[in-house]
Amino acid sequence: MTLELDKSLPFSDNPKEECGIMGVYGPGKDVAQMCLFGLLSLQHRGQEAAGISVSDTKQINYEKGMGLLNSVFTNERLQTLKGINALGHTRYSTTGSSSTRNIQPYVIETAHGPLALAHNGNITNAAQLREELLAKGVGLTSFSDSEVLLMMIAGAKGNTWAERIKNTMPKWEGAFSLVFQSRTGLYAVRDPWGFRPLCIGYFPDWGYAVASETCALNTLGCINIREVMPGEIVVMNYDGMNSAPGMKPKKKTAFCTFEHVYFSRADSEWDGRSINSVRERMGAELAREAPVEADVVMAVPSSAIPAAIGYAKESRIVYTSGLTKNDYVGRTFIQPTDELRQLGIRLKFNALPYNLEGERVILVDDSIVRGNTSRALVKLIRDSGAKEVHVRVSSPPIVSPCFMGVDMGSYDELIAHRYSTEEIREFIGADSLHYLTIDGMMKAINSKTTYCNACFTGEYPIDVKTLSRSKLKFEG
């Protein structure tokens, strides 16, 4: 069977980023500036929009907008944000479109004072919860599941915010790593499955922070960094940083494997493991599973570089730089002609012919979602003089969408859901194509924690049969 290039799909072969959360508690400090510095370490988790809210103990003020952090936050805008705690968010839309009304943090006034929320994940029963709120006459301003969580907490029973969160958490199904902000504190919350990462740390002598990844906390100089445990509520306020009762963790957790494969920054830790080290081990496992005679190993920059290095070390084939990537170009948009499409790819990637000419090349990538970029890169490498191009992927074939906060596309958009590995190899134009097995991937992670591999297996840890397949499901 001959596959045709689907011109209706974007070129990106990677799943879209999730969201990044950053919170800082530090009376007397420039918490907004600290929050921005932390968010800059999380920009890879979302580039559509960003926001920061700050409490001055009386009210919560905020600034947010569409675009990257450096375009949203000027010195003038940061100067308006003074207070004792700050909450920040970088967004890629998973539920709700990319528009100003869906930018986080969400901030509302409640009977108990102002409250803000930043959320990473996806609530699988959000449609039902949304209808219940609307039936009660609760007004909603956005199409995001995150606002549903905020409004539920605002009307929950309890004497403290921690109690209200605890009393509401059992109603939520799906992935939620989130931070609530009140006038006087921050509340970090993680779902009992542990889908998405969330970590906390201590600033010597003056405060606390919470972030989606340890790299952000390390950037700010935090110590004693640990993960928020599945089902845990962590309170940061004048009384220090304390764990409050939440929910019991599920007997079978569901940590996201793709944090190791692609999402997390290489200098972060997830489940107590170095992301960079795990990716190198994935590459080494791939070399053992799918060896091939070749002259050089190269990576699709930049998240696949550790896996390519691991493959090169294990295979004892020299590692080289074969592609350069322009990190200042956004996602390649749909172009009207094949010629402009190819130029779109070349805006992102350029080959280094002097490292490729006459060589048998092993091209290592961390994932293939739609196949369009892989096809274009194989052609680019061949056009640069490579004799052979063997593609190796440091994760298994993606056959099912993610409903837990990652925009991987629909079943129809996933090339491995529709076609065999041999058909994909023919489509991308490679001399050979091999994916890492699930067993090899989990061997590289080497954890007793139970992970979610639904995108590779189609077996979800929670019921997704009734879920809408569209992130725009609340928008008519």
**Active-site positions?**
19
Q: How many CB atoms lie within 10 A of CB 356?
A: 25
Q: Using CA atoms, how far apart are residues 85 and 28, in angstroms rounded to an integer? A: 10
Q: Using CA atoms, how far apart are residues 332 and 330, in angstroms rounded to an integer? A: 6
Q: Using CA atoms, how far apart are residues 451 and 464, in angstroms rounded to an integer? A: 17
Task: Quote the crossing angle between the two packed helices 305-315 and 275-289, to the nearest 10°.
Answer: 50
Candidates 43, 19, 162; CA nearest to 96 is 19
CB 444 within 8 A of CB 282: yes
Return the SS3 of 6. Answer: coil
Candidates 179, 18, 10, 198; CA nearest to 92 is 18
Return the SS3 of 229. Answer: coil
Candidates 78, 34, 18; CA nearest to 217 is 34
Q: Using CA atoms, how far apart are residues 376 and 386, in angstroms rounded to an integer? A: 14
Q: Which residue has the tokens 């959000």?
A: 126
Q: How far is CA 182 from CA 107, 169, 201, 215, 246, in A?
A: 10, 18, 19, 25, 18
**Helix intervals (H) in 349-408:** 353-356, 372-383
CA of residue 472 relative to chain centroid, distance: 19
